Structure 1
Amino acid sequence: MKKNVLIVGAGGVGHVVAHKCAMNNDVLGDICIASRTQQKCDAIIESVLRKNHLKDTTKKLYSRSVDAMDIPSVIQLIKDTKSEIVINVGQAYVNMTVLEACIETGVVYMDTAIHEDPDKVCENPPWYANYEWKRKERCAEKGVTAILGIGFDPGVVNAWCALAQKDYFDTIDTIDILDVNAGSHGKFFATNFDPEINFREFRKVWTWIDRKWVLQKVHAIKVDYDFPVVGNCPVYLTGHDELHSLSKNIDANSIRFWMGFGEHYLNVFSVLTNIGMTSEKPLKIAEGVEIAPLKVLKALLPDPASLAPNYIGKTCIGNFIKGTKDNKPREIFIYNICDHAECYHEVESQAISYTAGVPPVAAAILIARGDWDVKHMVNVEELDPKPFIELLDNMGLPTEVIEKPATFAAPVIESL
């Protein structure tokens, strides 16, 4: 049985991970939160203690400072803290250094997003094959469990795909992953997670159509869908992490990702992009200083974690899946509804961070129990989805299934 958790990253998702780990520390053991800025870790610990979430007070909850881009430093931190499970919720730039440290020390590795090279934006698919999957053999040789993309999307939506393939369908034609935030944070403009990572996604759209990769423009294809609870919302075809593993591991003709954007968001984003503020390429200003406009924009926008106190409304994330069962057509919508205000009441977080932060803790519990400690590298859809979904039902992210939902009518999508 593995125990003692090291959380790398002290942003909004790390905040939720720490709360949920503390609430399950009778199983998970000691908890260390590490970030380049230790003060941010200490603020999370204060929140955990304020909410009285440390279930077993004989276990430690403490912080450390670490440069997650420095492999020897991460290795030493793992050894010093006697951690056997590492949950990486830092920026996607640190994935490979943290993974390397986990392979070297033989401990469990988990992350919630695909790796990104700071100098490469929207690389061509399949993204996992560029970085993570190259380390599969070494993980297997050393018996290291590495679970990739164990947030919500990617993460829970991958598990739903596995569940659908296992229990609901004999054949799957299309999977449409739909993510809409119908909440309001009260700010003129903000992103719900790291603005730098957020805006880097919106350069081009790679999607999986008729078993091949198709390239499309960003925010070019729109569908209105009548979601449960939150109602009719517009969603736009978008590239996303989970497509790159689901296209390999799930037998479906087409797998697409759609994200909800309001008109105001798109207008502001368009202006920022057109004047160059979303560019990651450094430029020299009059004083001779070089700086990337995107980093300036990130500094100007609200910290996603700061949005939580005043956030209202709900999110809906779900998979609309179409196929056959017993030679008959079948359509289902498998989904979760999450309430911003309820998340804040429970863990002082907004729902976007909550949906991403709860799943890795559920996975850590399954690893500690031995259910998911598979001793090699996997994406979530390669694991048994049922114990994971059952845990999430009891941890604040219940799964619902609708048979014959409102039809999702996507247009014909062709490559540019």
Structure 2
Amino acid sequence: MKRNVLIIGAGGVAHVVAHKCAQHNILLGDIHIASRTLGKCRAIIDSIKEKGSQCGPGLLKAHQIDAMDVEATKALIRATRSQIVINVGSPFLNMSVLAACIETGAAYLDTAIHEDPDKVCEAPPWYANHEWKRRDACRAAGVTAVLGVGFDPGVVNAYGRYAMDAYFDEVQSIDIIDINAGSHGRYFATNFDPEINFREFTSTVWSWEDSQWKANAMFERRQDWDLPVVGKRTAYLTGHDELHSMSKNLGVPNIRFWMGFGDHYINVFTVLKNLGLLSEKPVRTAEGLEVVPLKVVKAVLPDPASLAPTYAGKTCIGDLLKGTRHGKPHETFIYNICDHEASYEEVGSQGISYTAGVPAVAAAMLIAEGAWDVGQMVNVEELDPKPFIRLMNRIGLETRVRDADGDRVLDPYEESPAMASITS
């Protein structure tokens, strides 16, 4: 059993992670929050106290750290006696925080793939370029490292694994669909770190089709989907983290990621990109100042965490699987609906942060209990999805299934009457 959690980062997702850890601190132990800006960590702690999120007695403490400094991160892990580290800081930190965990024996979790600040949209498979190079070191040290355990990547990986095992003989395609049908009322804002958001969409879109990588341009391919609760929505083919591990681990010939974008987002994005304002390369102004355009854009856009008070509407994120069952065509959509206003009421966050933060805490709880404490590096689809899905149902993210037999809440341990005809 592992106890005491160190949260790296103090943004919107870290805010959710800290609240949910506090709600379950009887299991998880002391909660520490660390980032470069101590004031942001303290603000999260104040929010936890205002919401009454802390379940039982235990330490809740803020720390200042540059997590790129491996030695400093190691020292903080040891000083706090943290056995679980949840890295929800910038993806630029992944390899440094992972190294600190390997050397201290702490379990490591993150919610996004590592990024090199000087490279945008590296060639696939991205995990092989960075995290997977530390697999042997994790195994040798007996360190559990669960990669990409937000929602996408993370929950959608578990959904794919579970649905393949439960509903299909063979799967031909997995389409991951991410729709935010909410509105924040601002002229323009991104739902997570603008720098990371724009870096995802400024270069080649990689998808896994016919068992090989296929390249497209951003916004080149679109498709309309009719989804539960949010209705008919347009989504665009987009490259995304989970494709890079699921393509390797699931043996499915077609795995694609589709994200919803409104016309306004696309127009603003296109103007910014065409003007060169989304470039990660520094430029020099007429006054001799060197600036990075993308960081300037980030600085003038709203902090995603600030969107929460006015956010209304819902998200729908899930996996549409197509294949065969007993030799006949079969299709299943396994998904979650998250309400922005309900997320704000519970923990003071918007739904995008909520969907990313809750799964990381569920994974930490499974590591603390031992179910997912596997002593090696894994992606989510390599783990048993059943305890993960059931736990998320209990702590804030309910999973549902829609297929020919209807739409129902999924309890992965209890086969419902609707499923009987499928699995018989």
Please report the TM-score for the alignment, with normalisation by the length of structure 2: 0.95
Task: Report the AA paired with residue 82 of structure 1.
Answer: R
The count of residues paired between Structure 1 and Structure 2 equals 405
1:318 match: 318
Structure 1 position 404, deviation (Å): 3.5
**Structure 2 unaligned blocks of 5 or more:** 407-424
Cα distance in 2 for residues equivalent to 1:373 and 1:263: 44
Cα distance in 1 for residues equivalent to 2:218 and 2:404: 30
Cα distance in 2 for residues equivalent to 1:251 and 1:164: 14
2:120 match: 121
Question: Is residue 141 of structure 1 aligned with residue 140 of structure 2?
Answer: yes
1:7 match: 7
Cα distance in 2 for residues equivalent to 1:307 and 1:261: 17
Cα distance in 2 for residues equivalent to 1:83 and 1:178: 35
Cα deviation, 1:153-204, whole Å, max 9, x if unaligned, reads 0000000011012111110000000001000000000000000001001111
Contact preservation (8 Å) 1:331, 1:405: no
Cα distance in 1 for residues equivalent to 2:139 and 2:396: 33
Structure 1 position 329, deviation (Å): 1.0
Cα deviation, 1:270-312, whole Å, max 9, x if unaligned, reads 1111111111110001111111100000000000000000000
1:308 match: 308
Query: What secondary structure does 1:242 align onto?
Result: helix
Equivalent runs, 1:267-306 vs 2, <5 Å: 267-306=267-306
1:181 match: 180
Query: What secondary structure does 1:321 align onto?
Result: strand
Cα distance in 2 for residues equivalent to 1:348 and 1:164: 32
2:378 match: 378
Task: Report the AA paired with residue 40 of structure 1.
Answer: K
Cα distance in 2 for residues equivalent to 1:311 and 1:91: 23
Task: Report the AA paired with residue 243 of structure 2.
Answer: L
Task: Report the AA paired with residue 360 of structure 2.
Answer: P
Cα distance in 2 for residues equivalent to 1:304 and 1:263: 20
Pairwise CA RMSD: 0.9
1:169 match: 168
Question: Is residue 194 of structure 1 aligned with residue 193 of structure 2?
Answer: yes
Query: What secondary structure does 2:354 align onto?
Result: helix
1:345 match: 345
Contact preservation (8 Å) 1:9, 1:35: yes
1:46 match: 46
1:409 match: none
Cα deviation, 1:197-221, whole Å, max 9, x if unaligned, reads 0100111100000000000000110
1:411 match: none
Task: Report the AA paired with residue 18 of structure 2.
Answer: A
Cα distance in 1 for residues equivalent to 2:12 and 2:53: 17
Cα deviation, 1:361-404, whole Å, max 9, x if unaligned, reads 00011011100000000000000000000000011100000014
2:396 match: 396
- After TM superposition, the runs of 4+ consecutive aligned structure 1 residues lying more than 2 A away are none
Cα distance in 2 for residues equivalent to 1:404 and 1:309: 38
Task: Report the AA paired with residue 372 of structure 2.
Answer: W
**Structure 1 unaligned blocks of 5 or more:** 407-416
Contact preservation (8 Å) 1:27, 1:368: yes
Task: Report the AA paired with residue 132 of structure 1.
Answer: E
Please report the TM-score for the alignment, with normalisation by the length of structure 1: 0.97
Query: What secondary structure does 1:201 align onto?
Result: helix
Structure 1 position 231, deviation (Å): 0.7
Cα distance in 2 for residues equivalent to 1:284 and 1:404: 59
2:237 match: 237
Task: Report the AA paired with residue 75 of structure 2.
Answer: Q
Task: Report the AA paired with residue 400 of structure 1.
Answer: R
Query: What secondary structure does 1:184 align onto?
Result: coil
1:108 match: 107
